[in-house]
């Protein structure tokens, strides 16, 4: 499909490989519970031990940006979450996020934190993981990204055990994360006890948001929910 530039020239319209587009409730982050359009991009360079979206590693369907915008226009919400896989592994993703913002959507992106976020549109809410040792991918953390985070953005730690919790506290202190952005602590589903994690946070008086993954309790992590 061709798109017309402001100068009148026609160029090939950017495309993205899409695993699924669906409408549901946001299951995590500070937007939890809000009706949201999810756009799940295909592909991810990481292989976290607890990954629950391995079906998005490959396959998918190439779609033009205009086709994506047309498809999501059917839903009665202006809140969009671009996720994966790792959405930033696709080079067209950053421009796509800007187009979503320009189209009037409140846009968030869920990213692993392993890819540069410095060029993302400032209107986009960045929900960025810092991978814990329990993920098996802590070596992939790109700590340079922290300098680009704003107060509206969020850093997420997915915790597998007490060691992950203690490690995360050290990272928070080392990088002064509480001064820069919001912090989310999430227990691995069927891993660390949510009650234990809540007790640790309260005992240490940590300035973090404890969160469940709501969608897993409602729908047992069914794809497209």
For the segment 125-171, what is each residue's pLDDT rounded down to a tens digit? Answer: 999 999 999 999 999 999 999 999 999 999 999 999 999 999 999 99
Q: In the prediction, which pLDDT does 35 show?
A: 96
215: left (phi over 0), alpha (psi -120 to 50) or beta: alpha
For residue range 1-49, list pLDDT tens digits in order: 545 545 555 467 899 999 999 999 998 888 998 999 999 999 999 999 9
**Are the C-beta atoms of 50 and 191 separated by less than 8 Å?**
yes
Q: Give me the chain's average pLDDT, please.
A: 92
What mean pLDDT comes out for the span 103-116?
A: 97
Q: How many other C-beta atoms are found inside a 10 Å radius of the C-beta of residue 209? A: 17
The two most distant CA atoms of the chain are separated, in Å, by 62
Q: How buried is 199 (Cβ within 10 angstroms: 0-12 exposed, 13-18 middle, 19+ buried)?
A: exposed
The model carries a pTM of 0.89
Percentage of residues in the chain having pLDDT higher than 70? 89
Q: In the prediction, which pLDDT does 190 show?
A: 76
Taking each helix axis from N to C end, the angle separating 162-175 and 194-204, rounded to the nearest 10 degrees, works out to 40
Q: Look at residue 216 and tell me whether its pLDDT is greater than 70.
A: no
Q: Look at residue 221 and tell me whether its pLDDT is greater than 70.
A: no
DSSP helix/strand/coil, 118: coil
Q: In the prediction, which pLDDT does 5 show?
A: 47
d(CA 203, CA 188): 20
Q: What is the DSSP string of 168-221?
A: HHHHHHHHTHHHHSEEEEEEPTTSS-HHHHHHHHHHHT---EE---HHHHHHTT
**Are the C-beta atoms of 135 and 157 separated by less than 8 Å?**
no
Q: Which domains does the chain have, with CATH numbers?
A: 12-219 (3.20.20.70)
For residue range 166-194, list pLDDT tens digits in order: 999 999 999 999 999 999 999 997 788 99
């Amino acid at each position: 499909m061709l798109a017309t530039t402001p100068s009148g020239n026609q160029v090939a319209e950017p495309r993205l490989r899409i695993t699924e587009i669906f409408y549901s409730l946001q299951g995590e982050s500070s937007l939890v519970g809000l009706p949201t359009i999810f756009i799940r991009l295909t592909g991810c360079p990481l292989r976290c031990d607890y990954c629950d979206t391995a079906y998005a590693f490959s396959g998918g369907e190439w779609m033009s940006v205009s086709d994506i915008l047309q498809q999501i226009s059917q839903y009665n919400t202006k809140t969009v979450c671009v996720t994966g896989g790792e959405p930033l592994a696709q080079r067209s993703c950053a421009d796509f996020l800007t187009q979503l913002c320009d189209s009037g959507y409140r846009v968030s992106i869920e990213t692993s934190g392993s890819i540069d976020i410095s060029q993302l549109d400032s209107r986009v809410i960045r929900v960025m993981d810092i991978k814990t040792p329990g993920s098996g991918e802590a070596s992939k953390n790109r700590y340079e990204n922290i300098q680009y985070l704003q107060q509206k953005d969020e850093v997420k730690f997915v915790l597998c055990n007490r060691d992950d919790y203690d490690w995360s506290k050290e990272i928070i202190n080392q990088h002064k994360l509480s001064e820069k952005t919001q912090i989310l602590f999430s227990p691995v589903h069927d891993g660390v006890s949510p009650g234990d994690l809540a007790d640790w946070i309260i005992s240490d008086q940590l300035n973090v948001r404890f969160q469940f993954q709501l969608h897993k309790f409602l729908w047992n992590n069914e794809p497209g929910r």
